[in-house]
């Protein structure tokens, strides 16, 4: 009769899985070769990540330094953005409404941006003091004769929002204007 052994059969020794190590090694080599082949620049990647982090940070707000010339240039830039977008200058009845969103920059709060539409020579609350020349309102820039001398926006005696008027009669004493071509006009215009 055969003897029955009550001890279980011993487990075979654990074999190391060399196949996994070889696969990881091959993947590592492929990663390095692909990176070398497409010229990965890890410093550039770090810089891109750094720029992305800075872009998500809050931009410090600044304030607007009011001046006659700066205001007229900012208004002109906004008018040209509206002109390029719409194919003509805004209508006289709504020109400030049309450009107010185009005056703001990323670091400038809306309350500061609207100050660009306030003539510093008036100074009261809700006294705007700029008017659009109706000779340019609703027109394409190149359709206006003598764009270097034709006022687009000028310092006006009127103080209401969206003011418009003839610069020959409505210009403030010693008032400035900005021409259709973007030139600051410091003497009263003689518009034809």
Compute how many other C-beta atoms are within 10 angstroms of the C-beta atom of residue 137. Answer: 17
Residue 176 tokens read as 């400035």
pLDDT at 96 over 70: yes
Domain assignment of residue 47, yes or no: no
pLDDT tens string 161-190 = 999 999 999 998 889 999 999 999 987 555
Q: Is residue 116 one of the residues assigned to a domain?
A: yes
Q: Which of 6-10, 125-129, 138-142 has the lowest mean pLDDT?
A: 6-10
- Would 190 be classed as within a structural domain? no
Asked whether 98 and 82 are in contact (CB, 8 A), the reply is yes
Q: Which of 157, 181, 160 is nearest to 170 (CA)?
A: 157
Of 32-41, 83-92, 115-124, 165-174, the range with the lowest mean pLDDT is: 32-41
- Quick check: is 44 in a domain? no
In sequence order, what DSSP letters do the residues of 113-179 get, joined into one string? HGGGGS-TTT-STT---EEE-TTTTT--GGGSSSTTTSEEEEEBS--STTEE--HHHHBPTT--EEE
Is 128 part of a structural domain of the chain? yes
Q: Which of 75, 89, 93 is nearest to 147 (CA)?
A: 89
CA-closest candidate to residue 87, choices 134, 135, 136, 140: 140
CB atoms within 10 A of CB 175: 24
In a domain, 21, yes or no: no
Residue 123 domain flag: yes
Residue 108 lies in a domain: yes
Domain extent at residue 172: 68-185
d(CA 79, CA 91): 11
For the chain, what is the domain count? 1
Q: Tens of pLDDT along 2-52? A: 555 555 556 655 555 666 777 778 887 887 777 666 665 666 656 766 776
In angstroms, rounded to a whole number, what is the distance separating the alpha carbons of residues 22 and 40? 25
Dist. CA 87–CA 81, nearest whole Å: 10
The answer to whether 99 and 76 are in contact (CB under 8 A) is no
The model's pTM is: 0.65
DSSP code of 60? P
């Amino acid at each position: 009769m055969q003897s029955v052994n009550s001890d279980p059969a011993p487990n075979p020794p654990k074999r190391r899985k060399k196949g996994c190590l070889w696969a990881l090694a091959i993947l590592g080599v492929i990663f390095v070769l692909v990176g070398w082949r497409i010229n990965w620049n890890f410093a550039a990647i770090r810089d891109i990540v750094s720029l992305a982090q800075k872009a998500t940070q809050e931009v410090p707000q600044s304030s607007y330094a009011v001046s006659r010339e700066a205001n007229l240039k900012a208004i002109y830039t906004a008018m040209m953005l509206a002109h390029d977008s719409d194919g003509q200058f805004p209508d006289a009845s709504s020109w400030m409404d049309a450009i107010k969103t185009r005056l703001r920059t990323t670091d400038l709060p809306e309350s500061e941006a609207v100050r660009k539409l306030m003539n510093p020579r008036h100074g009261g609350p809700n006294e705007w003091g700029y008017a659009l020349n109706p000779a340019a309102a609703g027109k394409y820039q190149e359709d206006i004769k003598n764009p270097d001398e034709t006022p687009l926006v000028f310092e006006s005696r009127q103080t209401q929002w969206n003011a418009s008027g003839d610069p020959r009669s409505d210009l403030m004493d010693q008032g400035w204007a900005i021409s259709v071509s973007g030139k600051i006009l410091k003497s009263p215009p003689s518009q034809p």
